[in-house]
Structure 1
Amino acid sequence: MTIRTDFPHAITEDPDMGIPMPDGCRLSARVWMPVDAPANPVPAVLEYIPYRKRDGTLQRDEMMHPYVAAHGYACVRVDMRGNGDSEGLMSDEYTQQEMDDAVAVIDWLSRQPWCSGTVGMMGKSWGGFNCLQAAFNQPPALKAVISVCATTDRFADDIHYKGGCLLGENFGWGAVMLSYSSRPADPALRPDWRADWLNRLENEPWLAPRWAALQERSAYWKHGSVCEDYSRMQTPVLIWGGWADNYMNTVSHLVENVPAPCKGIVGPWVHQYPHTAAPGPQVGFLQLAIRWWDRWLKGIANGAEDDPAYRVWMMHSAPPDASAPYRAGHWVAEQDWPTPRAKPLTLHLHGASHGYLGRDEAAGFAQDIATPQHLGLKAGEFFPMGLNAEMPGDQRDDDALSVTFDTDVMPDGMDLLGAAKLTLTLASDQPLAFIVARLNDVAPDGSSTRIAHGMLNLCHRDSMEHPRPLTPGEAVTVTFALDHCAYRLAPGHRLRIALSNSYWPFVWPSPAPATLTLTAGSLTLPVHQGSTNEWTPPPAEHASPWKHRVIRQGKTRRFIETDQITGTVALVVQDDLGDAENLTHGLCTGETMSERWEIHPDDPLSARATHTWEQRLSRGDWSVRTHAWAEMTATATHLRLTARLRAWEGDNLIFQRDWDDEVPRKAV
């Protein structure tokens, strides 16, 4: 990774540019732009997120935005309403107010004397969603977007539900936002910080119960899902994803369906920007971003519209490693997507004491799937952020608890590019149940590396909008897709499909331990014809990192523990980010988090998730602290989600509130 210091333009920075909204609310922006922009206007590039520009995303902002600004752009990092140094309140994610504010910001930027009138938008995760939603809403000045780790469908491919299954991360993200949004503005920028903070705390939403109650693909989830009408996507889109992140499907969906120029790039990465993300190789995301902006915001004929439609890092077989710093592979560049170079191959599930996956039609069989509730502890995070064992580990322990079907050893290996599809015929002895499938690479030594996974809440077998319980004992045939992948299976390895009806803590368990009786099935693989390296991206580089002093080093632990008396199994995550001082403006920040996901192998109603977050801010004699605690449990009929928020000014407790919500289990 190269730190670049020589640039075409000298830049200036404003730490708190006020952007007025139509209702009078002032949003706070940090802006970098060329010093001569008032005399020679430049395009604006907006990043619009709730994660606090003053401290939360400052480290990555300072590596990216000055870099882009120094190439002749005004980079505008805006705190959303109710977050960071902006006024107002935030009530939920992706609200109409949030989207209207984005449109208003884009319009305001286009009319500034230092702006040429054209605006681009970029962002990762929440910010990536906003890019796509803004393009969907078609503000006239928005000419291009770059979206990283985002989704087209808020119900199918976000942190709440997957295949209609309730994700553990739905609760986890509610706890995160309870903590993140509880912090005040910086008093150095907001003299009214205290009154504003108390108002924020009084109106702080506990969102996890709201999301958990919406167990079907309703109007709530369709709002903000650009897949509802791809024809509205008339703005050029550069979409990025990572195979170690759970937003990888978005890239294919957009490239295939967006009518505007749309290019997709997927690397081996976790939920981070591609110039800093693990596993390597990192790439020159910023150079490629500037190429995109030059084409669509400045009108420079650089051929960006003729780049391959879909560029992906095809990962090669490697030993499983939940903290892999690098994944071997090569770049594949498909000029068209879907590609004619990938052909379907259907393999059939054969029942036996050891299941077999082969090309021949299978004879009839009956195989029960009734997996223990703690299966899934090596699944990894929904969106891993780094190298703290957050990616999928060796799958062989979970495979041993699953029902598995293996191919013969493949002497020549196999290349896969696209999404595998699984068709199963099965019956359940319970009205509520789900099925999880993992496609794994099994090496000669028995180690098992997850290539892709997929899942289906069987109540959603006919419709995501209108789930209905199963009729116990009645066979149904279902088809669902696994996540997209690009993978080269090494010669001498085997493919494995591992099936389970538990996946803790990735999926919240069904209310009763179901037995699924499987009687037929097939797997259709997207087999690629083979390729050599077809693209060489620019090397990763960025601007100078932030100036800071470490006050206290952090430490992260992740472990699995088993209570030898009760039999309860728990995944425990302890993440202390330490404390640091910003040497530019003196703000000291710190964050500590712990998660505990426990369950008994025989009892789905023993599931318990407990999360604790602490946020710390100080400067001189001023200090504040917030503490958020949240817990989720369940009965056979209800999900229970409790939370507690406390806030201190110095040593004085100034705010406390408790929530206790029960949500009926309709389809989960």
Structure 2
Amino acid sequence: MKALIHRRIPGTWGGSLATDVYLPDGPGPFPVVLERTPYHRRGLETLAPRFVEAGYAYVTQDCRGKYDSDGLFMPLVHEAEDGATSLDWIAEQSWCNGRIGMWGRSYHGIVQIPAAMAQHPALRCIAPSVAPGSFFRDWLRYDGCFALGNALRWGLTHATCRTQPAMSHFSWDELHRLQGIDQIATRTGFATPCLSDWVGHDTYDDYWSALDQDHMYGRVTVPGMHAGGWFDHLTRTQYEAYRAITDRGGSDAARNGQRLMIGPWGHQSISTRGESHTRYGDWDFGSAADLDVMDHELRFLNLHLQDRDDGIADEPPVKVFLMGENRWVDLEDWPVPTAIVEDWDLAGGPAGSSDDWGSLRPDGSAAPGERVFVYDPADPVPTLGGAVYWGLEQRGPVDQRPNLKRSDVLSYRSNPLPRSLTVIGDIELSLHIACDREDTDIVARLCVEEPGGAVISLSLGSLRCRYRDDPTSATPLEADTPTALRLRLGQIAYTFAPGSRIVLSVTGSDFPRILPHPNRIAPLFEGDPLIARTKILHGGQYPSRLHLPVVEGL
């Protein structure tokens, strides 16, 4: 292997991008894999042998404004321009045979769709994984709720300056108590322009639209391999990119060439060679989960960059890990065309019950009624597992019983299931609520209660109520007036075993995953908090229902 270190690619703005190149032995030219990063390209050199052994020239690059590259780092702002510039430079090199692919995870994946928009003739495929398509909806807000764990943990670690992380200056509790985002600059001694923008633009507007990839998918003309994990907070994006490019990509090659792979992993726990990740959270998924995702991605790259087909061209385009049964299943599409949505009504507990549980009923028998929780922003429900960012200690499938004991968490469960139930697809929750404040957050989790009593989180979602109809405009709640909500609780592929129970929890907070809502409409980190009293209505005129896509015959 030969290394060409610290090459400079001239940028259109007058600066240059620091770039390293790793070449196979031999005369070349070679197909190329490009990976762009804000986390320092030198940290990627351990991947070089894997690509070089497969016959690729491997090119790594610091994003604009990070480490050795010139300019100012503004997340997502320059990636289309700099991606196209980099493709031009690579295609002109004597060691490039004119066929380039892009590969990478998280932010390394984000940069690929903008680069593909240029429709560069040398770019033949992309392989983004665990990458957000909408910075607003998937990364910095969760359907309106400010994603504190993402925005400030990632922003203070990676987006504030060229090399220095600022997260060490703050604890989670201190971030909760910030009185305005300017306090960050005061404490750290340097400005955080992107954080100020992220906080200041609390409603979806032109600022966010310019960064989103939703409008880019129709201009993608190359095949793509999209990988993610059931417990990664960005799984929705992997599905949406696959679906959107399949439906409206800019060429037949793009529309017919998308692939999707979702396993039992989190954002940073995708299994690769030498890094077994069969266990996540409280669950061990067995040997089937120990799949080398990079090997699967290399098969895809080989097909499109080297015309090497080991059978992957004839494989179904979607591959997901079916939790509960702990096996991989191949699917012809996503969502599963044969899935049938089953509705489970939220209801009060069984007559004579001595516990505080509500019930989930599949037969539409919920009687009119209500249950109430009181949310105090000074005492938020702590984040406990789920599809959350790496900055939180407990992630993935984690026992929820400590939180279910709280008086501000409402819980609903089914009777023990008489037979297995396989759920694959998008989980949604329709609620009717009545709150005594002009705005509040609703957080819900789908769980399974195992026969031994553990209640394990499978998926979760949240909604800032004033954005229930439209993320671009706020509609305050009318105090104590029944209001319909629709929450998206993520995606799963899970088989509930006979004897287990379906469990749903509903509350008003999830800290530090989301910033505790002050229960009033005010700029983020401002406004005196209020206590909110929220009713969950059920039955009769105001039904509340959990919607599960059920699949049989797999």
- Counterpart of 1:122 in structure 2 is 103
Aligned counterpart, 1:491? 498
| Structure 1 segments (4+ residues) deviating >6 Å | none
Q: How does 1:169-568 map to 2 (within 5 A)?
A: 169=149, 170-177=151-158, 181-183=162-164, 205-259=192-246, 260=254, 261-272=257-268, 273-275=270-272, 276=275, 278-279=277-278, 281-316=289-324, 329-352=326-349, 354-361=357-364, 362-371=366-375, 373-379=379-385, 382-384=388-390, 389-401=394-406, 402-511=409-518, 512-520=530-538, 521-531=544-554
Residue 238 of structure 2: SS of its match in structure 1? helix
Distance in 2 between the 1:274 and 1:258 partners?
26
Q: What is the correspondence of 1:161-176 to structure 2 with a 5 Å cutoff?
A: 161-169=141-149, 170-176=151-157
- Match of 1:621? none
Distance change in 2, residues 1:277/1:382 (3 Å): farther
Deviation (angstroms), 1:380: 5.8
Contact persistence 1:68–1:286 (CA under 8 A): no
Shift of 1:302: 4.5
Structure 2 residue 99 is the aligned partner of structure 1 residue 94: no
Tell me the distance in 1 between the aligned counterparts of 2:372 and 2:300: 52
Counterpart for residue 39 of structure 2: 51
- What secondary structure, in the 3-state scheme, does the structure 1 residue paired with 2:369 have? coil
SS of structure 1 residue aligned to 2:136: coil
Partner Cα separation in structure 1 for residue 79 and residue 390 of structure 2: 26
1:102 Cα offset (Å) = 1.2
The alpha carbon displacement at 1:303 in A equals 4.8
Which amino acid in 2 is paired with 1:523? L
Contact 1:419 1:483 (C-alpha < 8 Å) held by counterparts: yes
User: 2:183 matched to which residue of 1?
Assistant: none
Cα distance between partner residues in 2 of 1:282 and 1:84 = 34
Q: Distance in 2 between the 1:168 and 1:203 partners?
A: 20
CA distance in 1 between counterparts of 2:383 and 2:306 reads 49
**DSSP 3-state at the match of 1:286:** helix
Distance 1:287 1:300 in 2: 14
In 1, Cα distance between equivalents of 2:504 and 2:189:
49
- CA change 1:209–1:23 in 2 (3 A) is closer
**CA–CA separation in structure 2 for the residues paired with 1:137 and 1:465:** 28
Contact 2:336 2:424 in 1 (8 A): no
Partner letter of residue 286 of structure 1?
Answer: M
Distance 2:294 2:537 in 1: 51
Who is 2:175 aligned against? Answer: none
Question: Aligned equivalents of 1:347 and 1:136: distance in 2?
Answer: 42
Offset of residue 94 of structure 1: 0.3
Equivalent residue in structure 1 for 2:90, among 109, 115, 129: 109
What is the identity, as a one-letter code, of the residue corresponding to 1:472?
A: A
Residue pairs, 1:623-642, within 5 angstroms:
none
1:111 positional shift = 1.1
TM-score (norm 1): 0.69
Q: CA RMSD of the aligned region, Å?
A: 2.3
Aligned partners of 1:66 and 1:131: how far apart in 2? Answer: 22
**Contact 2:230–2:387, Cα closer than 8 Å, also in 1:** no
Using the alignment, how far apart are the partners of 1:496 and 1:243 within structure 2?
18
Q: Match of 1:258, SS?
A: helix
CA distance in 1, matches of 2:387, 2:502: 23
Q: CA deviation at 1:88?
A: 2.4
Distance in 1 (alpha carbons) for counterparts of 2:533 and 2:146: 19
Query: What letter matches 1:263 in structure 2?
Result: R
d(CA) in 2 for partners of 1:220, 1:392: 35
How many Å separate the matches in 2 of 1:410 and 1:232? 46
Q: Could you say which residue in structure 1 is the equivalent of 2:4?
A: 14
Query: In 2, distance between residues paired with 1:378 and 1:354?
Result: 19
Q: Which amino acid aligns with 1:278?
A: H
Aligned pair in 2 of structure 1 residues 419, 102: CA closer, same or farther (>3 Å)?
same
Give a deviation string over 1:420-459, Cα, whole Å, max 9, x none.
1111111111112011110011123321100111111101
Contact 1:47 1:127 in 2 (8 A): yes
For the residue of structure 2 that corresponds to 1:118, the secondary structure is strand
1:202 and 1:366 map into 2 onto residues whose CA distance is: 50
Q: SS at 2:135's partner residue?
A: coil
Match of 1:643 in 2: none
Does the C-alpha gap of structure 1 residues 178 and 150 become closer, same or farther in structure 2, counting only changes over 3 Å? closer
Residue 472 (structure 1) shift: 1.3
- Partner of residue 24, structure 2: 34
TM-score (norm 2): 0.82
CA displacement at 1:381 relative to structure 2: 7.2
Cα distance between partner residues in 2 of 1:414 and 1:329? 14
Amino acid at match of 1:166: F
| Per-residue CA distance 1:443-483 (angstroms, 9 max, x = gap) | 23321100111111101111011122212122211112211
Quote the residue 1:623 is aligned against. none
Residue by residue over 1:41-66, the C-alpha shift from the partner in whole angstroms, topping out at 9 and shown as x without a partner, is 11111100110123xx34xx41x222
Match of residue 629 from structure 1: none
Is the deviation greater in 397-406 or in 206-215?
206-215
What one-letter code is carried by the residue in structure 2 that aligns with 1:274? S
Amino acid at match of 1:283: L
Q: CA deviation at 1:132?
A: 2.1
**Partner amino acid for 1:524?**
H
Answer with 281-290 or 110-119: which moved more.
281-290
Contact 2:226/2:260 (CA < 8 Å) preserved in 1?
Answer: yes
Following TM superposition, by how much is the alpha carbon of 1:527 offset from its aligned partner in structure 2, in angstroms?
1.1
- Does the C-alpha gap of structure 1 residues 268 and 501 become closer, same or farther in structure 2, counting only changes over 3 Å? same
More helix by share: 2
CA shift, 1:492, in A, is: 1.0
By how many angstroms is 1:206 displaced?
A: 4.7
- Say if 1:121 and 1:93 are closer, same or farther in 2 by CA, change over 3 A: same
Gaps of 5+ in 1: 1-10, 185-200, 317-327, 532-668
Structure 1 residues 256 and 271, CA, compared in 2 at 3 Å: closer, same or farther?
same
Offset, 1:136:
3.2
> Which whole-Å CA distance do the structure 1 matches of 2:295 and 2:163 have between them?
36
User: AA paired with 1:85?
Assistant: D
**How many residues end up aligned between the 2 structures?**
483
Deviations 1:101-151 (A, max 9, x none): 111001110111110112111111111111122223433321100111012
In the superposition, relative to structure 1, how do residues 285 and 448 fare at CA in structure 2: closer, same or farther (>3 Å)? same
Contact 2:160–2:192 under 8 Å retained in 1: no
CA separation in 1, counterparts of 2:208 and 2:4? 37
TM-superposed deviation, 1:239: 0.4
